[in-house]
Amino acid sequence: MTRVSQKIQPFSQECNDCPIRHRAVCARCEADELTLLEQIKYYRSFEAGQTVVWAGDKMDFVASVVTGIATLSQTMEDGRRQMVGLLLPSDFAGRPGRETSAYDVTAATDLVMCCFRKKPFEELMIRTPHIGQRLLEMTLDELDAAREWMLLLGRKTAREKIASLICIIARRDASLQLNASDGELRFDLPLTREAMSEYLGLTLETVSRQVSALRKEGLIVTEGKRQIVIPDFDLLLEETGDDSDGGFLI
Amino acid sequence: MTRVSQKIQPFSQECNDCPIRHRAVCARCEADELTLLEQIKYYRSFEAGQTVVWAGDKMDFVASVVTGIATLSQTMEDGRRQMVGLLLPSDFAGRPGRETSAYDVTAATDLVMCCFRKKPFEELMIRTPHIGQRLLEMTLDELDAAREWMLLLGRKTAREKIASLICIIARRDASLQLNASDGELRFDLPLTREAMSEYLGLTLETVSRQVSALRKEGLIVTEGKRQIVIPDFDLLLEETGDDSDGGFLI
DNA sequence: CATCAGGTTTGATCTGCATCAAGGTGTTTC
DNA sequence: GAAACACCTTGATGCAGATCAAACCTGATG
C-alpha cells in the first residue's frame, strides 16, 4: 500500500452540487436544506481561459465547482500575477458577507459551476447553522492548504515546487477518481505551463525546464500533451522537500 | 487624513480575552457566554524565543494572544523555515477539531496567551452558534491575509517584501494603539531580522541590507533597536508594489 | 571593567532563476 | 495544405538574492 492510497479521503461524487463539500458522510444533507438550496441555485458554464469574475467586480453569488478547474489569482499593477487558490470539483468559491470578489476567478479548463445567489444563501446559513459549521471546516482546510502553499512559495526550489505541484494534483485527482492503483499513478495535468508558473511563483520557462528534467530522470512520464504518469509516487515525493510522513493533506 | 487612518478598524481592547476578536461591537459578548468562557480559561506566559508547542505535538487548547507576538512556522527536514502566521494581540490560535498542532508556535516577544481547554470550548461552540460564526469570519480574514502573503512570497522583490511587512505591522499596530497621528507614524518593530526573514522568505542578510537601503533613502527612520518611524506612510506604501487603493486590510 | 553572547551590519563571491530570443509541435481555420 | 495560432521547449546571458565570512553593536554577567 503506497502513501497515496493511505492518504486519500474519498468523498461522494453525488454531492458536487452541494455548496459545502462533504468529506465522508452525505446523509447530513437533510432534505429540506437541499430543497431550499434547489430554489436558489443555477448553473453557469465557462470555456477554458474565460474569466468568471474580475477582482473588484461585484459578485452576488457563491458557487461550487461541478466539473473542471477554476483558479483564484491576484494581479499587481505591473502585471505580475500570483495564483492564490486552485478550485477542483466540489471546491467552494465566494465569501459570504462580501460584496465584491477579492480575486480574479478564471476557468483553467472548461468549467461548470453551481451558483447560489448570495443573499438567500446567507439567509439559509443563518437558519441552518450546520452549513456554517461545514463552511468553517472547509475554510480551515483551505487555510491549512494556503499555509502549505506559503512554505512552497517562500522556501522551495523550482524543482521542489514542480514535484510538489504534481504530487498535489495527483493526490486530489486520485481522491476524486478513486483510480489509485498501487505504485503507478496516471492522471491529467490540466494546467498550462503558464498556469503552473502562476501557481508556483516561477516563470513558465523555468516550469518547462524542470518538468523536462523530471521527465529525463524518469521520475515522471508524459504521454501526449497533458497526461502524466508517475511510475513511483514515493520517489517523486522525495523531490518535494516535504516531510516524508505526516505531510499535507490538501 | 492619510490612508492609514482610513483603513483602521479599531476594536475594543477589553475583549482581548475573548477567544473571538471583535472588530467593532462588543455588546455581542453575551453575559452567559462570557461566564462559560471564564470557567474554562487560564493564562500562560512565555519568554521571547520560547516555543509554545511544536508541530505535531498534542495541543489540547485553543488560545488568543493577550500581549506580545506569537508566530506559526513550518520547518522542512533540512531546517529551512517559513513563517505562516503572525499572531498579534487578540488573534486566535488553534483549530477546533484537531488534536495536534500543525505548526511550531513560538513566542516572538514576551507573550501572554489566554487559553481555553479545547474540549469544553468545542462544546461551547455547539451551544452558542455565534461563536462559530465569528470564528468563521476570522478564519476567512486569515485566509485573505494568507493569500495576500502568498502574493508577497511568490512575486515581490526583497525591497517590496520589506516595505510590505513594515506597512502591515504599522497598520496592525496603529489599529491596536490608535496612535495614528497623520503623516508620521511611530511604532515598535518587535521582530528580529531572523523572524522577518522567516516571514518574508528571505535570508536575514538580505533583510538587513534592504532595511538599511530604506533607511538611507529616508523612507523609514530607525530609533534605537526596534523603534521605527515612518515619516510618510503613503511614500512607503508605493514601495510595496501593492495597488495603491483597495489593497489589503489585515 | 573585561568578557561574552545575541543580534546586526557589511563585504565578496556564487548561483538559481529570470529574462530575452528563437524555434518546435499540434490544432484550428479557410 | 498552408497559414495562423496557442502552447511548449531549449539556448544564451544577466542579475537579485543566497552564501560565506568577518566585524560591529549593545546590553548582560562575572
DSSP, res A89: T
Classify domain B3-148 at the CATH class level.
mainly beta
* Contact call for residues A139 and B139 (beta carbons, < 8 A): yes
Distance from CA of B105 to the nearest CA of A (A): 14
Segments of chain A assigned to CATH 2.60.120.10? 3-139
Above 80 in pLDDT, residue A37? Answer: no
Determine contact: A95 vs chain B, CB below 8 A. Answer: yes
Whether ipTM tops 0.90, in short, is no
CATH numeric code, A149-238: 1.10.10.10
Cβ contact B201–A154 (<8 Å): yes
Determine contact: B153 vs chain A, CB below 8 A. Answer: yes
For A201-228, what is the mean pLDDT?
A: 94
Classify domain A3-139 at the CATH class level.
mainly beta
Segments of chain B assigned to CATH 2.60.120.10? 3-148
A222: three-class secondary structure by DSSP: strand
A63: three-class secondary structure by DSSP: strand
- Tell me: the pLDDT tens digits for B53-94? 999 999 999 999 999 999 999 999 999 999 999 999 889 999
Segments of chain A assigned to CATH 1.10.10.10? 149-238
pLDDT of residue A159: 98
Q: Strand D: list positions under 7 Å from protein Cβ.
A: 7-12, 16-21, 26-27
User: pLDDT under 50 in chain B at which residues?
Assistant: 1-16, 22-30, 246-250
What residues contact residue A201 under an 8 Å CB cut-off, 6+ apart?
A82, A153, A161, B153, B154, B155
Classify domain B157-238 at the CATH class level.
mainly alpha
Q: What's the CA dihedral at B139, B86, B90, A143 to 10 degrees?
A: 10
Choose among B55, B247, B59, B80: nearest CA to B168: B247
- Tell me: the pLDDT tens digits for A48-65? 999 999 999 999 999 999
